[in-house]
Structure 1
């Protein structure tokens, strides 16, 4: 187990992130696991009663040993990079308060990894997905529900958690939606008429009371709709359409961004609409757009 001193320091750091940096619950949970794993590994170097200052005794060799240990458990380079980021953040915060030298930990190099490009659907495939999703359910209100959710994902660029987080008070949808995304960051997104119409049809058909504080989208028994239900609906639809396994609910969010970029949208605006904290995240879509253009070029101009 982590020594009481280190456990207390970790708890205070996480409270700091939650209160002042406004990190989401999911981020706090991930950081707790990442840093706890690191501290447990280093406990062997510190001894059972080692306190927070013992982190100043960690060497680059120790850091390499920990990173090798993590990779040896089958953890991908991308995930290790995230863990290292959490460890550095915690160490920097603690060093400022306890006055030890964090150089060895902060100078550890993040593993290199190839950034995965988003895999959006083209416009035709996205339309086909919406059409097919509407035909999946036997009950009309369920079909209307599924279509409304999927239309919000593509038409507004919402995450599935954001769409399913809407409440009865959000309907009928107005010209814009105020969304609270990752890190409790708020953004305002425009709502296309098609999305408003789809939600209106669902609300009219839904057999349950959609009171203001209750979830807008419901399961067949009346509880909050499970995101896995929408994932299964799209899975069945993509199999019937012959689309790749990457045609998931999140792919529709990618499609929203890529189609906006293709239509001339600027990166800053798309960043705001998606709620990305960093422009570098949004810039991945320029690579997608370029890759698609090159594919079209190669098809039109085959090499001899």
Structure 2
């Protein structure tokens, strides 16, 4: 009987916001977050968000800050509301009233090469191992891994087409020979299991017509890290961090890494220089070049 009831109508304002996000090819996860954050403002106001004034926005940010909302979350809300007021309402004057807060970035957790190998070996499911190998071997975000389709693998040019990147940006990612071999192994197994379609998802979920969820991939990484005896706090993004750091340590140009990661700003990529310890160890100190001390000479007074 419920199937005969009409679906709840979407308000014109919500529909306009969805259309603007679709136009820019925002990922499903980004769209969900933006709709949620605009809803926060509507709940705070007790009325439609398009009726907000500059003073309303100031009070909203003060209330969120006093409620203890973390700074990264606050900045995410600002991004959502700026988009809403600029593109859905054509009110850039209100968007400018929203303040992003500066905060110190913590160093990312990075796995050693041996730890990555142990983590991948600890995954017991071929599909999961292939998905995590893509996250590390190509440096993809977890949402990008989940959104890959079989047709995104370009074995002729040895590239992975990422068409649902952050901000809807398109880019080509790295496809190594070993990663391609693993993906072909998964393709054959998936076809035998009846879950792989020629033009379907590279990593199907419980149903072949739906992709694996990012939540499932996060759970897989945590369980694999535990099984591998890795005590670090590990998530899917840890594999992306490790990809960038290991490339940097191997001498890959930082601007090439920026392109592979899909970073809009070089500053975001340069942040990995702070955790590239192998790079630091290869640098010769200017003190050593002075030749004042014998190698292995004991310190005075020891």
State if a TM-score over 0.5 links the two structures.
Answer: yes
Alignment match, 2:162: 179
Alignment match, 1:15: 19
Q: How does 1:31-42 map to 2 (within 5 A)?
A: 31-42=34-45
What are the ranges of 5 or more consecutive residues in structure 1 without an aligned counterpart?
1-6, 298-303
Q: 1:275 to 1:159 in 2, by over 3 A?
A: same
Q: 1:278 to 1:221 in 2, by over 3 A?
A: same
Alignment match, 1:196: 180
Correspondence 1:28 to 2:31: yes
Whole-angstrom CA distance in 2 between matches of 1:253 and 1:82: 21
What are the ranges of 5 or more consecutive residues in structure 2 without an aligned counterpart?
1-10, 285-301
Note the alpha carbon deviations across 1:110-151, whole angstroms, 9 max, x for none: 333222332121112112222222xxx3xxxx3x33332222
Q: 1:270 to 1:167 in 2, by over 3 A?
A: same
The SS at the match of 2:116 is helix
Segment drifting more, 152-161 vs 217-226: 217-226
Segment drifting more, 224-233 vs 252-261: 224-233
Q: How does 1:78-227 map to 2 (within 5 A)?
A: 78-92=72-86, 102=93, 106-133=96-123, 137=124, 142=125, 144-169=126-151, 173-174=155-156, 175-180=158-163, 181-206=165-190, 207-209=192-194, 210-218=196-204, 224-227=211-214
Segment drifting more, 220-229 vs 260-269: 220-229
CA drift at 1:11: 4.6
Alignment match, 1:257: 244
Whole-angstrom CA distance in 2 between matches of 1:51 and 1:214: 38
Segment drifting more, 70-79 vs 119-128: 70-79
Whole-angstrom CA distance in 2 between matches of 1:94 and 1:162: 26
The SS at the match of 2:257 is helix
TM-score by length of 2: 0.72
CA drift at 1:226: 4.3
Q: 1:283 to 1:14 in 2, by over 3 A?
A: farther
Alignment match, 1:3: none
CA drift at 1:78: 1.4
Q: 1:63 to 1:127 in 2, by over 3 A?
A: same
Whole-angstrom CA distance in 1 between matches of 2:207 and 2:168: 29
The SS at the match of 1:188 is strand
CA drift at 1:17: 4.0
Q: CA RMSD in A?
A: 3.6
Note the alpha carbon deviations across 1:240-272, whole angstroms, 9 max, x for none: 333135222221111111111111222322121
Note the alpha carbon deviations across 1:81-109, whole angstroms, 9 max, x for none: 22123334444557856xxx937x62454
CA drift at 1:185: 1.8
Whole-angstrom CA distance in 2 between matches of 1:94 and 1:147: 41
CA drift at 1:227: 4.3
Q: 1:287 to 1:196 in 2, by over 3 A?
A: same
Alignment match, 1:69: 63
Q: 1:195 to 1:10 in 2, by over 3 A?
A: same
Q: How does 1:236-247 map to 2 (within 5 A)?
A: 236-247=223-234
Q: 1:226 to 1:112 in 2, by over 3 A?
A: closer
> How many residues were matched structurally?
269
Q: Indicate conservation of the 8 Å contact 2:71/2:101, yes or no.
A: yes
CA drift at 1:232: 3.6
Whole-angstrom CA distance in 2 between matches of 1:222 and 1:23: 23
The SS at the match of 1:102 is helix
